[in-house]
Structure 1
Amino acid sequence: MVALATICFSYTETNEDSWIRINQLGYTNEGIKVAVWGSAEPRSIKSFQLVEVSTGKPVFKSGVGKPYGAYGPFASSYRLNFSGFNKPGRYYLEAGGARSPEFRIGNDVYKGSADFCLRYMRQQRTGFNPYLKDSCHTRDGYTLYGPMPDSTYIDVVGGWHDASDYLQYSTTSANATYHLLMAYRDFPKIFEDTKLGNGLEGKNGLADVLDEARWGLDWLLKMHPKKDWMFNQIADDRDHISMRMPALDSQYGRGHERPVYFINGMPQQRQKFMNNTTGTSSTAGKFTSAFGLGADIFRQVDPVYSALLAEKSATAYAYSQIKPGVTQTVSVKSPYIYAEDNWVDDMELAATWQNQLGEALRYAAEEPVTPWLGADTAKHYQWYPFINLGHYELARRLKGPEKNKVIQYYKDGIEKVWAKAGSNAFYRGVPFIWCSNNLTTSFAIQCYWYGRLTGDKQFDELQQANIDWLFGCNPWGTSMVFGLPSWGDTPADPHSAFTHIKKYPIDGGLVDGPVYGNIYKNLIGIKLMEPDEYDRFQSPLVVYHDDYGDYSTNEPTMDGTASLIYLLAAMENR
């Protein structure tokens, strides 16, 4: 796994007021290769050069093209495009007195990266945790808001912790499971078999990504145990009383049991008020799709399991239609929830997996473009998943004008982002809201899917710019994935109990990512614990801190990492 090997790279930058930002993973031979030069002072440059490390000699020179002006901490910026150079090797860039870190060009720069990120998924497991080789949250849980008496015990042990807290949400878990299943379906040769189903070392004849997807499916089955029962989350924000290693929590008033919230289609608690739940469709639609894709994949591997998933997909679809609308999450002490406001995208994907293509087309037309695309802001998880997964699955099954119409929806959304992105050197058109890295990952996937469906390459550079952003081509020059690449500048002090208390690495975890300066200033309880090593690159526009105290920009998320696994598998496959 070349991308993950320990390689000695020089990380010297020679100018104190200008910098060159690169994708630290590297660049593929024939792929798009762009870096960004930025200066703290108003300056102009005319050219740049690519230098081979082994010889110290320039091997490629080019003009820089148009200036992009000020962005974030930079008063001046340019895109340095060296896509015309395709010889594998180790290089660095020089421009305007600045020198970039060294990087590789090679067709294997993404090799092993998707499997590497699976480490974080396994580390997030609840029930038996293979990283800790111990179990946690084994008494989940007691029911609330259901048709059964409140505090009825139900076995829902399993699944993944959502982030650095230990809440568990059906909506994010179903979406993560779906992405893992897609990664295996679309790129089966990318993944290795080095783990058993329980996550421990060994081979079991299944790709590790499929083992992880089944871990998610098994928990979703517990959260939909009967055709007329479905649960939306385990635990709530009382979890945030302290940062600790996963254990048998006891802050909920029922011994070591945690609350399990039933989906009843009605508003439920949000601090002093109630959330804006309007129906059952958003979460149940996600269950339908995860079970549907799971049934399809496991048909040859485990026919009995496949049949069960197919049955549950049908009952989940029926549950989604009990009361059309969205199911939001619950909070008790703070106002922060996953404030999902859309559900027709979930129903489009669900209807596709139920082979109700006419219904799917109707849902697709109701929300052709995911609303955040082209917008400057949105609420936390307001439009979730962050792109419409249904358009891709539906387009795969259609032909002719109907297929073209659905594909056009993707193009319309991409063009809305491009209208903003084309004006800055980083091609940044994704809003800096909480979990902006998740949006960035998902948008890159939408660009990838559009290209795969059409063969149209006009958005390839925009797609690559979003990938490059995640791995260091950003104002801070840092990767947003813990430990990837091993030789690079990556998060070292994330908002995680694993790293903060035990100094355990959270390999492969995608952190939340940068937020607008005004969002950061207004969040509750944020305090940096150490001097800010990126202070020079913060701006009123956007901030990112590699600091345990910043839960808004440096907390890893399970569902964002699952989406990144799909994207990295696509890049390695390509």
Structure 2
Amino acid sequence: MQAYAQQNIYINQVGYQKHQIKKVLTGYLASSFDVINVQTGGIAYSGSFSLRAENDVCSGMILYEGDFTPLNVEGNYLIRVHSSINSGITSYTFNIADAVYTDVIEKANKALFLQRCGMEIEAKYAGQFARHICHTEDCYYHPNCEQTGTKSMTGGWHDAGDYGKYTAPGSVTIGILYASYELNKDKWQSDEWGIPESGNGVPDVLDEIRYELNWLFKMQRTDGAVHEKVHTKDYVQFIMPSEGEVPQFIYEVSSTATADFAAIMAKSWRIFESIDNAFAEECLRAAILAYGYLDEHPDIFPEGGFKNPADTKAGGYSDGYDKDERIWAAAEMYLSTGKKKYLSDFMELNRIFKSQFSEPGWINPAALGFYSLLLANDNKLKGIQDALKKGLHKYCQQHIDVAKNEGFGIGMSADDYTWGSNGTVLFKAMNLVMANLVLADKASGELAARHLDYILGLNPNKVCYVTGVGTNRILHLHHAPTVSDLNVEPIPGIMTGGPNKYRNDEALQNVFDENTPPACCFLDNEESYSSNENTIYTNAALQFVATYFND
């Protein structure tokens, strides 16, 4: 019984801001708890538990909740639980501090650098995670392209646990980082990340983004259309990126990739205009060219959206709907040019979306355009901004209502626990953060912070889903460099995919079945690619949310 009890105390293992709401959960009936200062051994706070959920739909658990929000003294703590079952069981340790997420953010920032392709990752920047230059060979045009031959496609970021590079995920990653940069510009000014560009007078987040933008330029054809991805035909095994010499291919152009490209290049003009005007103008020219191609091809292309051809198994990111990408592009093009044509395009597309928000991931980046419009200082947009505020309020209220009845207090339903569910948790948190900011909605801000608590340990699996932080953290990430290097732990600062009720890999199927609660379908196992693999865009969401709440 003791072992069972100890396995059922849930806490944010990284910690809490001093003035943040602070919760602890148990999966068994407990009467009270003490918060113990680890350094002194003294009791810093005492509280009681109350029933939070019976037979929670997402976790299948009975949960009891304790609140220690009044404790705002900086320090390192653990929680001792008292119950008739087994009194004295303790939680993992955690911190309370003003800038408690600094370590998470710094590790996540460096993790993005460590996803770079096409350059040597030197030890002076990467320490034990140094590696040789990779993927310098020219790529072949896949037969589904309209041209033949080869082209140099070095640069950019590896998207996930393998070595594919994609226009849509890369663009969305930048879009999320740009949104965070606009919300928290003072927090993104560091020029000391320890990357090759550090010390050049430009915030390192923008240097990192520029590395990806320089690759994205290579994805555009001379007529403006943009290729979907660069990838091998099949997934590579767990090898270092410099090994294997497996040929990579450039795949056909798509309307989703072209629209994502237009959006992010248009916004890049605004971000870089005062930093490097020549580069900013290059971005805007590319955006205008891409948008012009979209104008000439108003229907989705290829027909039905991009899908992997028959000879390709690796990394599909299939998307059969492009209006969400097009509305993002229209928003960013208007804000960068001021031309009525783009505002008119946005308004026409918004007849479909009706200013309603959804999670801003690669499959539906419309909210990124909505963010840009909400933050714009433009009197012509007042009516649009008012409508977007209503849509955002509706979205957040729905999630606040869901969270009231969800065992771990987050806005996730059972159907949300699909491939990449941790990204869904933080994409939802991004919308909640925007409501906290633009609507002065305190409840949305509190719920967004609870979503971050979930990622950092306050979840049914009692695991910190970010490598290198927390006590019970991810150790066996499905990430080729991590599996194939000689380091004991993964590259730190990487968030894993999260529970997946559909169990899309054999590792999950061997342990769980259709009766397993959806939020519990997770394995820290390198073979579980559908629950334990990373992506750059979900990591960007971690950077966004943690940065907002830090300090």
- Identify the TM-score tier after normalising by the shorter chain: 0.7 to 0.9
| Structure 2: distance between partners of 1:136 and 1:18 | 42
| Structure 1: distance between partners of 2:357 and 2:184 | 26
Counterpart in the other structure of 2:49: 64
What is the CA distance between 1:220 and its match in structure 2? 0.8
What is the CA distance between 1:337 and its match in structure 2? 2.8
Kept in 1, the 8 Å contact 2:241–2:481? The answer is no
- Are 2:10 and 1:30 aligned? no
AA matched with 2:520: V
TM-score by structure 2 length? 0.85
| Structure 2: distance between partners of 1:448 and 1:318 | 34
Pick aligned residue for 1:246 from 241, 249, 252 = 241
Kept in 2, the 8 Å contact 1:18–1:37? The answer is no
Counterpart in the other structure of 1:170: 167
5 Å-filtered alignment, 1:62-461, equals: 62-71=47-56, 75-95=61-81, 96=83, 97=87, 98-130=89-121, 131=126, 132-144=130-142, 148-149=146-147, 151-191=148-188, 192-194=190-192, 199-200=195-196, 202-236=198-232, 238-247=233-242, 250-251=245-246, 256=247, 258-263=248-253, 265=254, 280=255, 282-321=256-295, 322-325=297-300, 327-330=305-308, 332-334=311-313, 337-355=316-334, 356-367=342-353, 368-370=355-357, 383-385=363-365, 388-397=367-376, 400-430=382-412, 431-461=416-446
What is the CA distance between 1:18 and its match in structure 2? 5.9
Query: What residue ranges of structure 1 are gaps of 5+ in the alignment?
Result: 1-12, 266-279, 374-380
What is the CA distance between 1:525 and its match in structure 2? 4.5
Kept in 1, the 8 Å contact 2:155–2:215? The answer is yes
What is the CA distance between 1:55 and its match in structure 2? 4.0
AA matched with 2:140: Y
Closer/same/farther in 2, CA of residues 407 and 154 from structure 1, 3 Å limit: same
Kept in 2, the 8 Å contact 1:69–1:75? The answer is yes
Counterpart in the other structure of 2:533: 555
| Structure 1: distance between partners of 2:45 and 2:270 | 49
5 Å-filtered alignment, 1:460-499, equals: 460-485=445-470, 488-499=471-482
Q: Tell me the secondary structure at the aligned position of residue 21 of structure 2.
A: coil
Kept in 2, the 8 Å contact 1:19–1:99? The answer is no
| Structure 2: distance between partners of 1:145 and 1:104 | 55
Moved more, 310-319 or 332-341: 332-341
| Structure 2: distance between partners of 1:441 and 1:195 | 24
What is the CA distance between 1:336 and its match in structure 2? 6.8
What is the CA distance between 1:56 and its match in structure 2? 3.4
Closer/same/farther in 2, CA of residues 358 and 73 from structure 1, 3 Å limit: closer
| Structure 1: distance between partners of 2:184 and 2:359 | 28
Kept in 1, the 8 Å contact 2:59–2:407? The answer is no
Q: Tell me the secondary structure at the aligned position of residue 76 of structure 2.
A: strand
Counterpart in the other structure of 1:526: 507
What is the CA distance between 1:133 and its match in structure 2? 4.8
Counterpart in the other structure of 1:4: none
| Structure 2: distance between partners of 1:233 and 1:479 | 31
Moved more, 424-433 or 126-135: 126-135
| Structure 2: distance between partners of 1:569 and 1:541 | 26
TM-score by structure 1 length? 0.81
Closer/same/farther in 2, CA of residues 329 and 210 from structure 1, 3 Å limit: farther
Closer/same/farther in 2, CA of residues 184 and 498 from structure 1, 3 Å limit: same
AA matched with 1:360: F
5 Å-filtered alignment, 1:12-31, equals: 16=5, 19-31=8-20
Kept in 2, the 8 Å contact 1:291–1:310? The answer is yes
| Structure 2: distance between partners of 1:361 and 1:65 | 49
Percent of matched pairs sharing the same residue: 22
AA matched with 2:251: Y
What is the CA distance between 1:318 and its match in structure 2? 1.8
Q: Tell me the secondary structure at the aligned position of residue 189 of structure 1.
A: helix
AA matched with 1:291: M
Q: Tell me the secondary structure at the aligned position of residue 8 of structure 2.
A: strand
Kept in 2, the 8 Å contact 1:391–1:410? The answer is no
Closer/same/farther in 2, CA of residues 391 and 243 from structure 1, 3 Å limit: same
C-alpha RMSD over aligned residues: 3.0
**1:392-415 CA distances to partner (integer Å, 9 max, x unpaired)?**
111223654431211221222233
Kept in 2, the 8 Å contact 1:36–1:425? The answer is no
Q: Tell me the secondary structure at the aligned position of residue 214 of structure 1.
A: helix
Kept in 2, the 8 Å contact 1:167–1:234? The answer is yes
Count of aligned pairs: 514
Q: Tell me the secondary structure at the aligned position of residue 187 of structure 2.
A: coil
Closer/same/farther in 2, CA of residues 335 and 371 from structure 1, 3 Å limit: farther
Greater helix content = 2
What is the CA distance between 1:434 and its match in structure 2? 0.3
| Structure 1: distance between partners of 2:35 and 2:106 | 31
Kept in 2, the 8 Å contact 1:69–1:424? The answer is no
Kept in 2, the 8 Å contact 1:180–1:210? The answer is no
What is the CA distance between 1:524 and its match in structure 2? 4.5
Closer/same/farther in 2, CA of residues 337 and 562 from structure 1, 3 Å limit: same
AA matched with 1:206: V
Counterpart in the other structure of 1:376: none
What is the CA distance between 1:313 and its match in structure 2? 1.4
Kept in 1, the 8 Å contact 2:224–2:286? The answer is no
